[in-house]
Amino acid sequence: MEETDIVVAFHKLYYGNGSQTWSGNTRWMGYNVLKCPLDLWIYQEIIFENKPDVIIETGTGSGGGALFLASLCDLMDSGNIITIDTENTNHEKELPKHLRIKYLTGPSVSSEIMETVKSILKSWTRTYGDQKVMVILDSCHNKEHVLKELELYSPLVTDGQYIIVEDTNLNHPNPCDFEGPMEAVNEFLKINSGFIIDESKHKFYITFNPRGYLRKLGDNNG
């Protein structure tokens, strides 16, 4: 069996048994994190290397992902999280409370939420100086929604930082019955040369975000 076949087979096994692995049995400090731990390690490396002042997350879910990000910021003594969801989807317990996390409720692509995000960034800029901004997209996974998020949130990402599109593994290799995040990324990159796929973030073989680690280029980045 070829190496690629082994990787795909394990990816399907891991993803297909989500109740045992990622969908309900991966937790950060007691809160569900619907992500692959290998991707969480990549997030840690990105955040340490780039030290974003603000991380915007769409798709709060149970809040475990936001808490993980805030914990990394605690370790570096720098950074804040804005996390957005249409509602509090954590029915088992309250969302985690953390001084670095600001929760917003509403559709991530609504004009109201966008204005609120921009207002927060503006107020923090007055307080902390120029902000380095990173974005993680993990809300509704259909192509049209993800593409709209990319169009709205990519301008907020600062040079050298990342916009990470999660769950691009839908259809690649895990089949689903709709066009998803990968298709949105491919279309976005056709018309936006300001971002490149950082292939180095695929180094652990298994990732839920293939082609989803997009780094913003700047004047001194190539």
Confidence (pLDDT) at 23: 92
Domain containing 58: what range? 36-216
Q: Identify whether 8 is part of a domain.
A: no
pLDDT tens-digit series, residues 135-182: 999 999 999 999 999 999 999 999 999 999 999 999 999 999 999 999
Q: Report the number of distinct structural domains present in the chain.
A: 1
Q: Identify whether 1 is part of a domain.
A: no
Confidence (pLDDT) at 90: 52
Q: Identify whether 130 is part of a domain.
A: yes
Closest by CA to 56, choosing from 119, 133, 123, 112, is: 133
pLDDT tens-digit series, residues 115-137: 999 999 999 887 777 899 999 99
**Tell me, what CATH number does 139's domain have?**
3.40.50.150
Q: Identify whether 16 is part of a domain.
A: no
Confidence (pLDDT) at 219: 58
